[in-house]
Amino acid sequence: MIWRLQFKTLLPLQIIGYSITLCIGLVLILTTINIYTDTKPLLEKETDVFKENAVVVSKKISNLSTISSSLSSLRGKTVNRSQTYFSNKEINDLKSKDYVKEVNLFKRANGFDIYLDIKELGLRTDLFFESIPDKYIETNVNWKWSEKKQLIPIIIPKDYLKLLNLGYAETKKANRIPLLSYDAVKSLTGKVLIESPKGKKHFLCKIVGFTEKINSILVPENFINWANENYGEKKEIKPNKILVEFKDPNNKDIVKFLKKNNYEINKQDLEINKLTNIFKLSFIVVFIISIVILVLSIAFVILSINLIFQRNKITLINLSHIGFSLKEISKFYNYIIIGCTIISTLSSIFLAKFIRTLYIENYLSVFGLSSNVNYTTFIGISTLILLISFLHVTIKRKIKEVIY
Instruction: Identify whether the C-beta of residue 43 lies closer than 8 Å to the C-beta of residue 276.
Output: yes
Quick one: which of 386, 393, 348 has its CA closest to 23?
348
Residues in CB range of 230: below 8 A, 6 or more apart: 198
Q: How confident is the model at residue 350 (pLDDT cuts 50, 70, 90)?
A: very high
Question: What is the end-to-end Cα distance of the chain in Å, rounded?
Answer: 23
pLDDT tens column, 167-211: 766 665 655 666 777 778 888 888 888 888 888 888 888 888 887
Is the pLDDT confidence value at 106 over 60? yes
Which among 209, 368, 294, 396 has a CA at the least distance from the CA of 21? Answer: 294
Q: What is the pLDDT of residue 72?
A: 46
Sign of CA dihedral 84, 85, 90, 92: positive
How much is the mean pLDDT over the chain? 77
Domain boundaries of the chain, sorted by first residue = 2-47+274-403, 54-266
Sort strands 151-157 and 123-127 into parallel, antiparallel or unpaired.
unpaired
Check whether 67 has a pLDDT greater than 50. no
Per-residue model confidence as pLDDT tens digits over 210-243? 877 777 888 888 888 888 888 888 777 788 888 8
Measured from the Cβ of residue 44, the count of other Cβ atoms closer than 10 Å reads 10
The Cα–Cα gap between 376 and 219 comes to: 42
Confidence of residue 65 (pLDDT cuts 50, 70, 90): very low
pLDDT of residue 69 exceeding 50: no
- Determine the residue type at 52: E
pTM above 0.75, yes or no: no
Does the pLDDT of residue 17 top 80, yes or no?
yes
Question: pLDDT, tens digit, for every residue of 148-165?
Answer: 878 888 888 887 777 777
- CA 3/CA 20 separation, integer angstroms: 24
Dihedral pair phi/psi, residue 191, rounded to 5°: -120, 140
